[in-house]
């Protein structure tokens, strides 16, 4: 069988498994009352089953087992995914204290950090191995929490993961582990989307967002070259800038960082009256545009300049739009 056809068939199986497990969980959650009940900071109005991201996790792990060659790297990625998903699922079913949840995230990051230290090409200087592992753990925690924090409206986390993984599929075609993770991630998210977009029948919850974030970090850490790593990072710029920028703004204003809030750009825009579908589509288009810029930069040997351009324009755009929609909300008394 042709390799591309075989890959497509595997992807279809992974997508079908994701949907089947997520739908089974959705029905169980409805019976057991595992629901996300709307509150003052919610972006939805109807109690919705949460934790259905377990379908993504099961399908993602199965896809990696099917597509990636056996080895310590594959084992570490699967261990990290399972640990991250378990921590998230426990939090979905029975809320964990923030400190305990973060400790679980750190535990999930450890096997990936040990097996896949931060690549030397990501920095202009080499790091000793212990520091490279620490940097890897930090990157995993950044992606994991970025997807966790940004998973607040219908379809945004799954479709954003699709955007990053689809760009990586183009750039990592000869690298076994990142290609396997990218294809499995793309397929698992596509399988989940009928339950989550354009109108959510189920939420992936922390179980799903944790797994997505960790898998996306792996696409950076296991990249076959520094160029591919930077392409994956820059394609995710819309999420990474939003999370880090919002954190910096809240810290500057003296807010308690562990407290719930609605200050991410996607939340500001949604609160201003735009639909979940429009906001999600805008973010995905933004990320695909960043990926396109990076692919062009790679073809011209200007990957560093491309990454600087993507992150710079993304940061300026995020700040300008944040100010605009914050002002709009304050003017109409909805801040």
Of the given ranges (11-15, 39-43, 147-151, 211-215), which has the lowest mean pLDDT? 39-43
Chain position carrying tokens 């394609």:
235
- The average pLDDT across 72-77 equals 97
Instruction: List, as one string, the DSSP characters of 233-278.
Output: HHHTHHHHHHHHHHHHHHHHTT--TTS----SHHHHHHHTT--HHH
Q: Hunting for tokens 């698992």 — which residue is that?
A: 188
Which of the four pLDDT bands, split at 50, 70 and 90, describes residue 260? confident
Alpha-carbon dihedral of residues 17, 23, 26, 31, nearest 10 degrees? -120
Whether the pLDDT of residue 131 is over 70: the answer is: yes
**Measured torsion, CA atoms of residues 157, 160, 161, 162, in degrees rounded to the nearest 10:** 130
Q: Is the pLDDT of residue 42 over 70?
A: no
Count of beta carbons in the 10 Å neighbourhood of residue 125: 5
pLDDT of 151 reads: 95
According to the model, what pLDDT value does residue 149 have?
94
Give the whole-angstrom CA distance, residue 268 versus residue 43. Answer: 10
Average per-residue pLDDT for the chain: 93
pLDDT tens digit sequence for 157-200: 999 999 999 999 988 666 689 999 999 999 999 999 999 999 99
The predicted pLDDT at position 1 comes to 60
Rounded to whole angstroms, the Cα distance separating 7 from 16 reads 14
What is the pTM (predicted TM-score) of this model? 0.94
Residue 60 banded pLDDT, cuts 50, 70, 90: very high
- Alpha carbon distance 261, 250 (integer Å): 10
Q: Is the pLDDT of residue 275 over 70?
A: yes
Instruction: Answer whether residue 115 shows pLDDT above 90.
Output: yes
pLDDT at 173: 64
């Amino acid at each position: 069988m042709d390799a591309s056809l075989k890959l497509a068939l595997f992807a279809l199986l992974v997508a079908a498994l994701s949907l089947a497990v997520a739908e089974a969980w959705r029905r169980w959650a409805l019976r057991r009352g595992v629901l996300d009940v709307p509150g003052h900071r919610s972006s939805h109005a109807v109690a919705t089953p949460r934790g259905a991201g377990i379908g993504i996790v099961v399908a993602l792990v199965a896809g990696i087992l099917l597509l990636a060659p056996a080895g310590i790297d594959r084992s570490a990625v699967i261990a990290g995914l399972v640990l991250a998903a378990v921590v998230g699922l426990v939090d979905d079913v029975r809320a964990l204290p923030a400190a305990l949840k973060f400790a679980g995230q750190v535990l999930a990051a450890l096997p990936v950090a040990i097996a896949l230290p931060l690549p030397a090409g990501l920095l202009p200087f080499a790091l000793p191995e212990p520091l490279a592992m620490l940097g890897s753990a930090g990157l995993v925690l950044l992606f994991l929490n970025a997807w966790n924090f940004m998973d607040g409206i219908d379809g945004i986390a799954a479709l954003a993961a699709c955007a990053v993984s689809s760009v990586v599929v183009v750039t990592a075609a000869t690298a076994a582990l990142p290609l396997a993770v990218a294809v499995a991630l793309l397929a698992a998210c596509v399988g989940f989307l009928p339950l989550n977009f354009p109108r959510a029948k189920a939420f992936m919850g922390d179980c799903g967002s944790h797994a997505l974030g960790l898998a996306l970090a792996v696409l950076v850490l296991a990249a076959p070259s520094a160029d591919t790593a930077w392409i994956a990072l820059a394609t995710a710029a819309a999420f990474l800038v939003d999370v880090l920028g919002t954190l910096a703004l809240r810290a500057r204003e003296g807010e308690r960082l562990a407290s719930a809030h609605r200050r991410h750009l996607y939340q500001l825009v949604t609160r201003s009256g735009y639909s979940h579908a429009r906001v999600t589509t805008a973010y995905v288009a933004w990320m695909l545009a960043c990926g396109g810029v990076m692919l062009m930069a790679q073809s011209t040997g200007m990957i560093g300049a491309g990454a600087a351009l993507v992150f710079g324009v993304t940061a300026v755009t995020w700040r300008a739009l944040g100010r605009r929609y914050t002002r709009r909300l304050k003017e109409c008394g909805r801040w």
